[in-house]
Structure 1
């Protein structure tokens, strides 16, 4: 866990914690974050921070009943609220179009518009723009404003909301196009054919992107999302051209009709946004430092990164990509990344790490695995780190551990092999209270994160 005396960089703050009480002093609090990784055999007493009796601390009563808490912070999380806003707005227009009627061309424009938003919300430059604006908020601004901006990582709700809405619109489009074809109106067989194939692909993407399926079969999700997505975009081009051709005015050339149609330009832009990261695909040299039989640290010098950045790496660029938080150190060019066996490297690849790795796109902001180290090194705000796990020095080596302790001398590294598994809720609460923290950032697996966030 890391706690800060002044507001943390916005993109590092989990501002969604529902029941974080104020400190006894009543003064403004800052940010706290937690690693649940591997830790060293290090007694917290050596740094003058005592946790004696923390298990006997009494947690404050929750300020809202369980039903309200569940509705507010779980069922209606910001991600779902953004999804809901996009989806409900689309469905309101959807119902209006169903009532008053609309031709296939009008419905096709809405389908393309939703797909356009869904694709753009996953574009590196667009994501960085959102984070740049959110992080530009001065630390003097009220906490409630920074709390909202700190949830910028929830913009994925716009992506998924637009994607699902576009699929629903495509169902209506396909039905309307079929109706027009039967009535021998403007729609042609190729238009209907492409519409149904694209619909099948989008439904497949949604099924594989369902959270449980995505978590349990991540590699399958990656491959299907990419290959089915590319195929869908290619067929959307065919669909748009055929639709424009079906509706073009008598005597108007297809080329003239295409350049005057908004869907053409939307598809052109979204296609360029998909291609752009791949234009930056390259195989870069990497220097590997084997930390243990569990993990390796890769050093890159092809680009400089900032705290909060992640990069995409692969050993098989067509089928498998994984995002890793970058570790940037002030005054040092390039960046490093710690990759463990749990993060797609097997024992052989750690023992004999690659000399080159494929990278794609640009460094991008986001909440990724272990993003705390570069924030600690940056020293922009006072930080209190709590790292609970077994034997960090054996796992990650003295160099990384010592550099973190040097940057944040008051770090608390709780060795579970020496002290046993702690009560993370009470341990985190003790640190928040003593450090007078303003927010808590948790970097851990989902069950433990939810346990600490919700005080369960």
Structure 2
């Protein structure tokens, strides 16, 4: 056994899925081996599924013992949040299975595959992957740094009497930052921005570096949102300090309201801090929403009070609308209010049909077709929480959402399927929508991440796509309907790897091979943080542009 351990290849894991870093060339589960058996043409339909593989010798019927040692219970949903088996127990389990099968004749490829599971990489927390492994100089963090630096430079100039306008109107600069962060999160506005980006740049003659740069910026606008949020707090602190220094020019009511706004903004920033947001997402969402609403209401009070206060007689004059509309603060706050209310105007309760192919996922059916690449939000209680899912549609009569049973909400869809759900009428554009900007794209999905890409197979798309889907128990976990959508497609090529039958692949190498074979301009992946990071890094190392979900997508 000790001798066998010494030959084990290094591997990393993606939520229970073993990714071999240096796979054995003799291993019949080697990704390159599988891809090299595919037709080398670059057009037409290409479906590779375990139940229709042209060479049955590449698929081994595992015994129950071997299947248990090779595949954990994880269904490999991209957003699965179940606790995995303890690494020590997993290694011990493999050892027991090998001991029990040493006296039997096992094909060498299966022995090699079993040995791969014995080297377990120290378990990483998802938070460390999200914050550190995605890089210290990501576009998101660069945008944050740019916004925050520009504001701090202006603030320092104001404090040192080199920017007189900002010194007198510090509150205005705080409100301007609040407007900027609101626009960066306006799904209606971003839908328009994404549409024109695709319309203008989705042409063959536009250089690829420009397309990828725009994609990276649009995907990372959360960096502007968070940078402006922190800057708004800094400007408001400065404004309050200035007010307290010149307290004879203002009233205690104005100071109290400004202090309350500052407290609410600080609460929102703290709730959005990655440690809180990741571990207590409902706390983050509700704090962000209700604190934001209260701060906006108090902002209107602040504007009315400051406009009506007369420092000469230390009293409030009668409110005059004519003087109010001359204030820049007034128009900025009007705009903030409009974009804050806009998504709630479209909220409605709609009938749905929820089916559960397995205890691991639910398929939600809505009426009406939706364009490919869009996402939607649903809720049982609209004031409490909202959940975003990719939309599957042929853009005709219906559309679907595939929800992996991960948290309380998604598990409730399986155990207690609703007949009605609250939805937002404006479906928002995300990274998948930008696929239309390119000519040839490889889409990579693990588990329920397939949902946002299926529309590109069901309806015409500007891009020629090759879909790579890695999942466990495709029909058992996702249902016959999803399987038929994948296998019945005539748009692009499809590669499905069922880990329950074919074992755990190296998704990163599989993606690189698919991108080279497809001559793809870009790769778009939807997986959990660690899986997405591995795929993106492997593609970039191979000189292929790649994008995956970021923690603040």
Above 0.5 in TM-score? yes
The higher relative CO (CA closer than 8 Å, separation ≥ 6) is in 1
Match status 1:390 vs 2:453? no
**SS in structure 2 opposite 1:75?**
coil
Residue matched to 1:86: 147
How far, CA to CA, are the matches of 2:311 and 2:330 in structure 1? Answer: 13
- C-alpha distance in structure 1 between counterparts of 2:275 and 2:52, whole Å: 39
Matched, 1:372 2:438: no
Q: 2:71 corresponds to which residue?
A: none
Kindly tell me: are residues 103 and 89 of structure 1, through their superposed partners in 2, closer, same or farther at Cα, counting changes over 3 Å? closer
* Alignment of structure 1 residues 252-331 onto 2, 5 Å: 254-301=320-367, 303-330=368-395
d(CA) in 1 for partners of 2:52, 2:492 = 13
> Do the aligned partners of 1:114 and 1:163 also contact (CA within 8 Å) in 2?
yes
Distance 1:418-1:171 versus aligned 2 partners, 3 A rule: same
Alignment partner of 1:402 is 2:463 = no
Is the 8 Å Cα contact of residues 103 and 176 (structure 1) preserved in structure 2? Answer: no
Q: Distance in 2 between matches of 1:454 and 1:436?
A: 18
SS state of the match for residue 316, structure 1? coil
Is contact 1:288–1:297 with CA below 8 Å preserved after alignment?
yes
Q: Which residue is equivalent to 1:13? A: none
User: Counterpart of 1:150?
Assistant: 215
Q: Partners in 2 of 1:198 and 1:167 — Cα distance? A: 9
Q: Does structure 1 residue 188 correspond to structure 2 residue 271?
A: no
Tell me the residue number matched to 1:421.
Answer: 504
Q: Is the 8 A contact 2:186 2:339 kept in 1?
A: yes
SS at match of 1:385: strand
Aligned equivalents of 2:245, 2:55: Cα separation in 1: 77
Deviations 1:89-108 (A, max 9, x none): 11111111111156875111
Contact kept, 8 Å, 1:44 with 1:413, in 2: the verdict is no
> What SS is found at the alignment partner of 2:220?
helix
Change beyond 3 A, Cα 1:339–1:425: closer
Following superposition of structure 1 onto structure 2, how do residues 84-233 of structure 1 map, counting pairs within 5 Å? Answer: 84-100=145-161, 106-136=169-199, 137-140=201-204, 141-151=206-216, 152-181=218-247, 184=248, 186-233=249-296
1:206-263 deviation per Cα after TM superposition (whole angstroms, max 9, x unaligned): 1111123212211111111111111111111112222222368998854332121110
The normalised TM-score by structure 2 is 0.66
Go from structure 1 to structure 2 and tell me whether the alpha carbon gap of 1:296 and 1:108 turns closer, same or farther (over 3 Å shift).
Answer: same
Q: 2:519 — aligned with what?
A: 436
Closer, same or farther in 2 for the Cα pair 1:158/1:46, shift >3 Å? farther
2:88 corresponds to: none
Whole-Å Cα distance in 1 between the matches of residues 369 and 492 of structure 2?
A: 26
Q: Matches of 1:358 and 1:165 in 2, distance apart?
A: 34
- Looking at structure 2, the residues matched to 129 and 409 of structure 1 have their Cα atoms a distance apart, in angstroms, of 27
**Structure 1 residues 96, 45: CA separation in 2 closer, same or farther (over 3 Å shift)?**
farther
| Cα separation, 2, equivalents of 1:212 and 1:139 | 41
Unaligned 5+ residue runs, structure 1?
A: 1-29, 31-38, 56-69
- Provide closer, same or farther for how the CA distance between residues 440 and 44 of structure 1 changes in structure 2, counting only shifts above 3 A: farther
- Partners of 2:246 and 2:425 lie apart in 1 by 43
CA shift at 1:268, angstroms? 1.6
Q: Please give the alpha-carbon distance, in whole angstroms, between the structure 2 residues aligned to 1:177 and 1:237.
A: 18
Deviations 1:135-158 (A, max 9, x none): 111331111111112222212222
Q: Quick one: which of 395, 400, 403 aligns to 1:336?
A: 400
Q: Contact (CA 8 Å) 1:118, 1:160: kept in 2 or not?
A: yes
- 1:44 Cα deviation from its structure 2 partner: 4.9
Instruction: Name the structure 2 match of 1:4.
Output: none
Q: Provide the residue aligned with 1:239 in structure 2.
A: 302
Alpha-carbon separation, structure 1, partners of 2:459 and 2:510: 26
Q: Aligned pair 1:452/2:518, yes or no?
A: no
Q: 1:94 to 1:348 in 2, by over 3 A?
A: closer
The answer on whether the counterparts of 1:295 and 1:396 sit within 8 Å (CA) in structure 2 is yes
Say whether the 8 Å CA contact 1:313–1:360 is kept in structure 2. Answer: yes
Q: How many residues align?
A: 398
Q: Does 1:353 align with 2:417?
A: yes
Post-superposition offset of 1:73: 7.5
C-alpha displacement at 1:418, in angstroms? 2.1
CA shift, 1:396, in A, is: 1.0
TM-score (normalizing by structure 1): 0.80
What is the SS of the residue equivalent to 2:524? strand
Determine the C-alpha separation between the residues in 2 that align with 1:249 and 1:46.
90
> Counterparts of 2:400 and 2:391 in 1: how far apart (Å)?
6
Distance of 1:113 and 1:263 partners within structure 2: 8
Matched residue SS, 1:414: strand
* Structure of greater Rg: 2
Tell me how far apart the structure 2 counterparts of residues 132 and 241 of structure 1 sit (CA, whole Å).
38
How far apart, CA to CA, are the structure 2 residues paired with 1:206 and 1:95? 22
